[in-house]
Amino acid sequence: MNRPKRLLVANVAWAHETAARNPEFFRELARGQNPHVLWIGCSDSRVPAETITHCEPGDLFVHRNIANLFHPGDDNSASVLEYAVRVLKVEHVIVCGHYGCGGVRAALLPPDPGLQHVNRRIAPLCALAERHCAELDGQRNERSRVDRLAELNVREQVRQLRASPIVQQADSPPLVHGWIFALEDGRIKVLTSGYAADDAMTCTASADSAA
């Protein structure tokens, strides 16, 4: 069986199982969405938002792209934020990066001429790496450099989101959180809680200790 076919067969099984577990599930789903969280994550296949947080369809409004970037001038990410804040009125925006991120690693390498769209997209990440070059150069190896830049990137996206007029001018501004996912153990680390005052602190609390 080819891969698309396998996905379709799996979909039928999932729909049957879900309906068997909760006969009202799809009726409620079709009625509309009311998610409380906007999730901005990386497109990496190993970091599926709903799976790693045990969420159901309808729980998360999701935007994923290479290296979980939010660009205020980019209609793609800005439109998702606008809709989430102004129409869905989400209470939380979560930027979730991950360690070992290929998009972040690319920002530390010479640009690949065959990846022009990626190069343009990650340009702000390259600039961020430049601004923190002393700290990054001080890391013990390439992997640590990538992981540290992944953390700095999450904080930078949180900063950009909080500074966005969409968030600033919202009737009830959402809290913007910065998280990072570890592929090795499947755990999320909280880098910044929802409050801007925490940005100055290095928060090492794990998801266990987060309120």
Residues at the contact surface with Zn ion, assessed by CB under 5 A: 42, 44, 101, 103
CB of 80 to Zn ion, least distance (A): 18
CB of 100 to Zn ion, least distance (A): 8
**Beta strands 37-42 and 92-98, pairing class:** parallel
What phi-psi label fits residue 80: left (phi over 0), alpha (psi between -120 and 50 degrees) or beta? alpha
Select 66 or 136, whichever has its Cβ closest to Zn ion: 66
- Give dist(CA 193, CA 205) in Å, integer: 10
Query: Annotated binding residue at 98?
Result: yes
Select 103 or 194, whichever has its Cβ closest to Zn ion: 103
Beta strands in the chain (DSSP E): 37-42, 60-65, 92-98, 175-181, 188-192
46 flagged as catalytic: yes
Instruction: Tally the C-alpha atoms within 13 A of residue 89's C-alpha that lie toward its C-beta.
Output: 3
Select 44 or 167, whichever has its Cβ closest to Zn ion: 44
- Give dist(CA 167, CA 148) in Å, integer: 27
Q: Say if CB 107 and CB 149 are below 8 A apart.
A: yes
Helix axes 123-131, 142-163, angle to 10 degrees: 110
Query: Annotated binding residue at 42?
Result: yes
120 flagged as catalytic: no
42 flagged as catalytic: yes
Active-site residue among 16, 27, 36, 46? Answer: 46
CB of 68 to Zn ion, least distance (A): 7
44 flagged as catalytic: yes
Select 42 or 149, whichever has its Cβ closest to Zn ion: 42
CB of 67 to Zn ion, least distance (A): 5
Active-site residue among 101, 145, 147, 155? Answer: 101
171 flagged as catalytic: no
Query: Annotated binding residue at 44?
Result: yes
Query: Annotated binding residue at 101?
Result: yes
Active-site residue among 63, 96, 98, 121? Answer: 98
DSSP string covering 85-118, please? IIIS--SEEEEEEETT-HHHHHTTSPPPTT-HHH
Max distance between CA atoms of the chain, in angstroms, equals 57
Active-site residue among 42, 63, 96, 147? Answer: 42
Residue numbers annotated as active site: 42, 44, 46, 98, 101
**Residue set of the binding site for Zn(2+):** 42, 44, 98, 101
**Residue set of the binding site:** 42, 44, 98, 101
